[in-house]
Amino acid sequence: METTIHVTEKVRLRNPVMIEGLPGIGNVGRVAAGYMINELKMKKFAELYSPHFLPLVILGTDAVASLLKCEFYYYKSPKLDIVVLTGDTQSISPHGHYEICDKVVHFAKAIGVKEIITLGGFAEGKEVDEPRIVGAVNIKKLLKKYEKSGIDFGKDHPVGTIVGASGLLIGLGRTHGIDGLCLMGETYGMPLMTDPKAADRVLHTLSSVLGIKLDLSRLERIIKEMEERIRKTDKIHKKMLSELVKQGKDDQVRYIG
């Protein structure tokens, strides 16, 4: 069995931007992606299954079991088409990360994606009052494009490495000619504690980068609604994250997403 993307709705998109928000430090990326899907009333059009996820099914409160999966949502507007990639988990094996991200990048290319923006948390290891947004790009010219967006490109935060999908998607994207930006919200770094403040800041920067309006007033309420599923899958993320951390642990690897 290989990592597979099932397209459930054929949809024609015009050079969409792809936003990735998978589980990670502070759940920042995932919560931000979930909020966007909710606010923009995005529709699911594809699912990704992988043998590199934990070998289990999750049960909803109604006892309906489903495979661990990632999901692709789309949003069409006259101004901008957007694809969001979110999901239950990331790979539990190092080479699985490469396989999954490689499939995603090929899929992105096939649907015309010109830029991938990955979202995550940047673990400070201490309480953060006003989270800043730390960024990375996959080609120099983007630094100029985003210089006025308030993103800290390493001036105050010398990030050494980005572990997992948020890193590999922009790294592999480059080899396929797709531009990549990674936005990381400063957070305490407790894997199992969702950080709404960091997600709020990431969404704020993202909406400015995309040039769309996102009403963030409902974020805390929506996060509460997401809590049931988050609580359940956080148990799974804990395992997945401990693998990720094992893979990238050192004093410079504080970002995982």
Q: Please report, as ranges, the residues that interact with its own copies according to CB under 8 A.
A: 1, 6, 49-59, 61-67, 91-99, 102, 135-140, 143, 153-154, 158-164, 167-168, 170-172, 174-175, 180, 182, 232, 235-236, 238-239, 247-253
Phi, psi (5° rounding) for residue 33? -65, -45
Min. distance of Cβ 215 from its own copies in angstroms? 30
- Cα–Cα distance, 58 to 123 (Å, whole number): 28
| Helix, coil or strand: residue 60 | coil
Residue 181 vs 223, nearer CB to its own copies: 181
Query: Of the candidates 197, 144, 194, which has an alpha carbon nearest to the alpha carbon of residue 23?
Result: 194
Shortest Cβ 86–its own copies spacing (Å): 19
Closest CA to 48 of 118, 102, 93, 95: 102
> Buried b / exposed e across 44-66, counting CB within 10 Å, b at 16+?
ebbbbbbebbeeeebeeeeeeee
**What is the nearest approach in angstroms of its own copies to the Cβ of residue 190?**
16
How far is 130 from 214, CA to CA, in rounded Å? Answer: 20
What minimum distance in Å lies between the beta carbon of 165 and its own copies? Answer: 9
Provide, rounded to whole angstroms, the least separation between the CB of residue 95 and its own copies.
Answer: 4
Of 39 and 237, the one with the shorter C-beta distance to its own copies is 237
